[in-house]
Amino acid sequence: MISILYDNEFLLNAIQLIRGARHSIDISTFKAEMTTKPRGRKLLEFFLAIQAAALAGIPVRFLISKREDNGHVPFTNLYAVRELKANHVKVRHLRNSRLCHAKVIIVDGYQAIIGSHNLSVKACHNNFEVSCLITDSEALKRLLAIYNQTWENAK
């Protein structure tokens, strides 16, 4: 089954998905932004749920674009990576300056959200973004296989 997530539906469903995790959380994104500013509080709630899961012993893997001097990757990733690592989240970057542009959240291998939403305030509040909640087992097996292969090739 596939459900379409539009505007605020993305964060609400993503937080619920993360909080329901029991065995694993796998995430990839181009941009991650952690802020305590009023418009970013719901997004911060998402990141705090990820950290809480990792601290509770649920393996959390996070693929993200690495900030380098070329300027293509947002500075916000530096802070997010530092915070995630400090809270036992495993973080990797793609090799050879390859950008991590896929926006994916997979929980327990049974549910996933894929789409255009970066984990940023603009993506969750300003931009036109659409993502899909997927529960189809065959699609999830393929998505998890792709994620696992990408993770193994990342550094």
User: Averaged in consecutive runs of 10 residues, what is the pLDDT profile of the chain (155 residues)?
Assistant: 90 97 97 91 96 98 78 79 96 87 96 96 91 96 97 95
Q: What stretches of 40-102 adopt beta strand conformation (E)?
A: 60-64, 90-92
Is the separation of the CB atoms in 101 and 30 below 8 Å? yes
| Distance separating alpha carbons of residues 25 and 59, to the nearest angstrom | 6
> What was the pLDDT predicted at 77?
86
| Distance separating alpha carbons of residues 93 and 90, to the nearest angstrom | 11
> For the domain that residue 6 is a member of, what is the CATH number?
3.30.870.10
Domain count, the chain: 1
Query: C-alpha angle 71/75/145, rounded to 5°?
Result: 90
> What was the pLDDT predicted at 69?
55
Residue 46 is part of which domain span? 2-153
Tell me the pTM.
0.94
